[in-house]
């Protein structure tokens, strides 16, 4: 498809397990973002990639969270030793521009709903 694709759509894991969430951005999009959205809240920024470079990871809540985009296309968000507070929807967005630009919207996937039991 032409949009941002995320998989899986739903993930249930036991506390302490590791999980990996995948994002396929729109082809050719330079910028890729991960956001975390708790129930009833707006999305919160996690990390940002420009091609394969992770330029900002200031939003990652702990060192259990790790993201990569090794070839500048598909990105994976990994959460190690999951905790119940990690339960949220994880949204991926991509944007065509690679530099601060006023006219390039961010396009979002449908998200991965993560539930930690």
Partner 1 sequence: KQEVTQIPAALSVPEGENLVLNCSFTDSAIYNLQWFRQDPGKGLTSLLLIQSSQREQTSGRLNASLDKSSGRSTLYIAASQPGDSATYLCAVIPYNAGNNRKLIWGLGTSLAVNP
Binding site for partner 1 (CB under 8 A): 4, 6, 31, 33, 35, 40-45, 48, 50, 55-56, 59, 91, 93, 95, 97, 99-103, 105-111, 113
The minimum distance between CB 96 and partner 1, in angstroms, equals 11
Give 17 or 56: the residue with its C-beta nearer to partner 1.
Answer: 56
Exposure string for 40-54, b = 16+ CB within 10 A, e = fewer? eeebeebbbbbeeeb
Give 70 or 105: the residue with its C-beta nearer to partner 1.
Answer: 105
The minimum distance between CB 49 and partner 1, in angstroms, equals 10
Per DSSP, which regions of the chain are E strands? 5-7, 10-13, 19-24, 31-37, 44-50, 53-56, 65-68, 75-79, 88-95, 107-108, 112-116
Give 28 or 105: the residue with its C-beta nearer to partner 1.
Answer: 105
The minimum distance between CB 81 and partner 1, in angstroms, equals 26
8-state DSSP, 96: S
The minimum distance between CB 110 and partner 1, in angstroms, equals 4
Compute how many other C-beta atoms are within 10 angstroms of the C-beta atom of residue 20.
14
Q: For residues 20 and 11, give the distance between their C-alpha atoms in angstroms, rounded to a whole number.
A: 9
Give 27 or 58: the residue with its C-beta nearer to partner 1.
Answer: 58
């Amino acid at each position: 498809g032409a949009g941002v694709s995320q998989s899986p759509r739903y993930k249930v894991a036991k506390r302490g397990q590791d999980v990996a969430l995948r994002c396929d951005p729109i082809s050719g999009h330079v910028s890729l973002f991960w956001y975390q959205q708790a129930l009833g809240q707006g999305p919160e920024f996690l990390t940002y990639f420009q091609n394969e470079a992770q330029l900002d990871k200031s939003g990652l809540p702990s060192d259990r969270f790790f993201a990569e985009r090794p070839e500048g296309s598909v990105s994976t968000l990994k959460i190690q030793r999951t905790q119940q507070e990690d339960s949220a929807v994880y949204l991926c967005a991509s944007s065509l521009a690679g530099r601060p630009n006023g006219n390039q919207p961010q396009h979002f996937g449908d998200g991965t709903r993560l539930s930690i039991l």
